[in-house]
Amino acid sequence: MAEWSKAQHSNPNPSTGEIIYSFVGLRLRYAVSSDAMSDESNTVDKPEADVDFYDIEFKPPTPSVYGIIGGAGSFAVVGARMVAGNDHGKAVSWIVDAGSDFPPDMMDTILSWNTGCVIREDKCRLTTRAWNGYGENEKRDFKYLTPKLRLEPYMLSNAQLFSKTFHMVCSSERCIHIVQEILRRRGSASSDKSARPIFVWEPVPDLCTPEEQEKFLAACRVVDLVSPNELELGMMFGRPGWHETDMGDRKLVQKILESGIGPENKGALVIRAGKDGSYSYSKGQKGLWLPAYHQSGSDQVSKVVDPTGAGNSFLGALAQGMISNDREPGQIIDDTLAKSDNWNKIKNKWGNAGQIPQALICATVAAGFVVEQIGVPTIATTNGYETWNGTGFNERLRNYTQGLCQTLERFPQDHDWVIV
């Protein structure tokens, strides 16, 4: 893995021209995760819902592609599943509502992930269809083509209800409602599993407007991790985008942190910046930049095909990574970065044994798989060894972390800073 410096970091836009997506599938705007999913008595790492299947019509002369699985939920599940590995795959729980036209080959793909997927078939309706288009700077437009179906907290099984993490893609008001209902149900259930789960919230893009700003800040206070991308964060505050070197944009981060993230203001703001990686902040003005997996100037940049779903997979992996410190991914990161004084300083500043920074590394690596093709990456198992797109997740995790270790020593100021 190559070394990185923010001064050197740039990556050409992987998509040229306008891309028009016609999605076919479930759009439930909601998600979850736990430790086992073999029966109703078990808990879950991460439940998830929101599956789309789509046809992709590219602007000529690029040929169109049809029948591709996608959607925020399925991409987030893939990210979580990569981090969980096959041993914990069943702990990644989600709900798929399959209409009468749900393609059998797509169901085979979903089942091949070996997750705790709950299939709900309804032959009286069609699967939800939607349109998705990308313009300049990966700006996305979206609309439904058929009536959508929505998952509500009361639909969760007891196993899903007591998940360790929940990932949500929704409006601010719906975010607050989901969190309150899950906590209410957990509190009233006859169970001793009363610990608060980790809530990861992805604001819905079309409601990232100045009019929604106060609702956004209110929702931030009930979740543990909130993650808009850089365009969405800028739009929320009436700006064309967000950039970490802009002092006005840094003040936006300060405003959010001062308003509070999490019930005790111990949460974090994670800004997804596409080809520029991610920028994360928490109380005390701690900041952390992590580069994207694929970098310009490396032999991997040519693998970047389509960014669709990378942000969702990033957050699914982030949610799963938050509970993986004592599993193989966490051990790989610890072993590789153990000798880095700068990394140890970052861990100490963030607290909780570096839980969030380690989860961010897992998220970055997972997103790197998703940009390599149109649709979801391909899973395979040979002689018990699991691969995605031909390589193991933990193998890439080790490669990325080795590169990060080198650049942390050479360019520590690029990765950890304080907002002034």
> Would you call the peptide bond into 61 cis, given omega within 30 degrees of 0 as the criterion?
yes
pLDDT for res 212: 97
Q: What is the mean pLDDT of the chain?
A: 83
Write down the pLDDT at residue 46. 54
Q: Which long-range contacts (CB under 8 A, 24 or more apart) does 342-349 make?
A: 342/408, 342/409, 342/412, 342/415, 342/416, 343/404, 343/405, 343/408, 345/416, 346/288, 346/415, 346/416, 349/284, 349/286, 349/416
Q: Name the residue with higher pLDDT: 204 or 60.
A: 204
> So what's the pLDDT on residue 140?
59
Structure confidence at residue 279 (pLDDT): 96
Q: Which residues of 70-103 are buried (b: 16+ CB within 10 A; e: fewer)?
A: bbbbbbbbbbbbbbbbeebbbbbbbbbbbbeebe
What domains, with CATH codes, occur in the chain? 19-418 (3.40.1190.20)
Query: 324 - beta bridge partners?
Result: none
Q: Are 113 and 89 in contact (CB under 8 A)?
A: yes
Q: How confident is the model at residue 1 (pLDDT cuts 50, 70, 90)?
A: very low
Residues 6 or more apart whose Cβ sits within 8 Å of residue 120: 95, 96, 97, 98
Q: Is the pLDDT of residue 69 over 60?
A: yes
Q: What is the mean pLDDT of residues 144-154?
A: 79
| Range of lowest pLDDT (112-121, 182-191, 265-274, 286-295) | 182-191
For 181, other C-beta atoms within 10 Å of its C-beta total: 15
Annotate 13-27 with b (16+ C-beta within 10 A) or e (fewer). Answer: ebbeeebebbbbbbb
Task: Write the CA distances from 84 to 172, 199, 321, 356, 390, integer angstroms.
Answer: 28, 18, 8, 16, 18
pLDDT at 125: 87
Q: What is the pLDDT of residues 325-344, one digit of tens each?
A: 999 999 999 999 999 999 99
| Confidence band of 363 (pLDDT split at 50, 70, 90) | very high
User: Given a cut of 90, is residue 68 above it in pLDDT?
Assistant: no
Nearest-angstrom CA–CA distance, 142 and 100: 24
Mean pLDDT computed over 133-162: 74
Integer Rg of the chain from CA = 20
Model pLDDT, residue 127: 80
pLDDT exceeds cutoff 60 at 193: no
Backbone angles phi, psi at 377, to 5 degrees: -65, 160
Question: Would you say residue 29 has pLDDT above 70?
Answer: no
The whole-number average pLDDT for the span 349-371 is: 96
pLDDT exceeds cutoff 90 at 370: yes
How many CB atoms within 10 Å of residue 164? 23
Report the share of the chain in percent with pLDDT over 90. Answer: 58
Specify whether the CB–CB gap between 77 and 94 falls below 8 A.
Answer: yes
Q: Which tops the pLDDT comparison, 352 or 65?
A: 352
Q: What is the pLDDT of residue 243?
A: 93
pLDDT above 80 (res 420):
no
Residues pairing with 418 in the sheet: 286
Checking DSSP bridges between strand 278-282 and strand 268-272, what pairing results, if any? antiparallel
**pLDDT tens column, 33-53:** 544 333 333 446 655 555 565
Classified as helix, coil or strand, 144 is strand
Q: What is the pLDDT of residue 360?
A: 98
Half-sphere exposure of 107 (CA within 13 A, CB side): 14
Q: How far apart are CA 67 and CA 348, in angstroms?
A: 46
Tokens of 404: 């990060």
Least confident of 1-10, 179-188, 266-275, 277-286: 1-10
Q: Check: CB of residue 139 under 8 Å from CB of residue 153.
A: no
Mean pLDDT of 67-92: 91
Q: What contacts 85, CB < 8 A, 6 or more positions away?
A: 327, 328, 329, 386, 393, 394
| Total residue length of the chain | 420
pLDDT recorded at residue 52: 60
* More reliable by pLDDT, 370 or 23: 370
Whether 22 shows a pLDDT value over 60: the answer reads no
- Exposed / middle / buried, residue 260 (Cβ in 10 Å: 0-12, 13-18, 19+): middle
In this prediction, residue 21 carries a pLDDT of 26
pLDDT digits (tens, 9 = 90+) for 384-398: 999 999 999 999 999
What's the confidence (pLDDT) of residue 26? Answer: 33
Which is nearest to 208 in space by CA: 166, 168, 240, 180?
240
In angstroms, the CA 393 to CA 398 distance is: 9
Is the pLDDT at 23 greater than 60? The verdict is no
> Residue 135 pLDDT > 70, yes or no?
no
Q: Is 387 exposed, middle or buried (0-12, 13-18, 19+ CB in 10 A)?
A: middle
Q: How many angstroms separate the CA atoms of 412 and 6, rounded?
A: 11
